[in-house]
Amino acid sequence: MKSTGPAQKAGVVGDPIAHSLSPGLMAAWIEAAGLDALYSPFRVAREDAGAFFRAMARTDCVGVNVTLPHKQTALAVADQASPAARAIGAANLLTFRDGVIHADNTDTPGFLSALLARGVNPKRGPALVLGAGGAARAIVHALHQAGAPEIRLSNRSRSNAAELALDLAPDARIHDWDDRDQALAGVALVVNATSLGLAGARNLVMDWQRAPADAIAADSVYKPLQTGFLRDAANCGLGTVDGLGMLIGQARPSFEAFFGISPPDRIDAHSLLQGMLEPAS
């Protein structure tokens, strides 16, 4: 009998996509779980994304993760959407059942699980979020849902920060970008949700001496794993949470949505991905 290939097929869609760590992580989980499944990367141009998602929904693919620049398009083409995806205004997970496209956003639980894995409780004190793009929207939504007592926002465009606050955290305090160091006073958590610090981009510089000694710095960037933002915070004695935690956290519910089981606990996902990031010697 001719093989029909893996019983379950899923993937990740973006442009570019070669840098994505998701295929390596998903492949390790699939193998450890003994699944007859395949997870593939798909590079799709921005203008073709909507048609691609609709076409995939008519195949035997169970779903796809979605990364830049397609998260808004993913939500727009969906027939159904979770409250989180609608609130954030973007989807990073599409599942396909009988031609119906369902959109979700797992960046919110992903961020919270990254914090909890390091013993960080969002309720402990004020949180400062730097940025107002898609990552910031997911993080602010997560903090608001988790009961952060105060959310502070700082972004190069104050109007974008104000729009984010209006949509997701009406009580948030907005600080001008040039005054972001002043927002460190009494803060419990500081999150970089900008692209600053990404490989090839300039670092995000903060005056960490203004932050409490027990404050935590978290970064959504994971290439490089140790950004200047985190390194400077650590040098001032602050605890840090790197970007891999959020990546792993959002991948877990995606795996469950695709394959109906939790990822095997015996896989050390952080070490696996860290090894993928380190250049071969």
Strand partners, 239: 216
Strand-pair category, 100-104 with 93-97 = antiparallel
9 tagged catalytic: no
The residue type at 278? E
From CA 244, how far away is CA 269, in angstroms rounded? 9
Interatomic CA distance for residues 227 and 234, integer angstroms? 11
The rounded distance, in Å, linking the Cα atoms of 108 and 175 is 23
Tell the residue number behind the tokens 């394959």, with chain if given: 259
Rounded Cα gap, residues 112 and 245, in angstroms? 9
Cβ atoms of 77 and 54 closer than 8 Å: yes
∠ CA 170-172-130 to the nearest 5 degrees? 130
Quote the CA–CA distance of 140 and 148 in Å, as a whole number: 9
The catalytic position among 2, 9, 71, 223 is 71
Phi and psi at 178, nearest 5°, equal -70, -15
Please state, in angstroms and as integers, the Cα–Cα distance from residue 126 to each residue in 111, 185, 186, 264, following that order. Answer: 16, 9, 7, 35
Beta sheet of 239-241, edge-to-edge order: 173-176, 151-155, 127-130, 189-192, 216-219, 239-241
Residues annotated catalytic, as ranges: 71
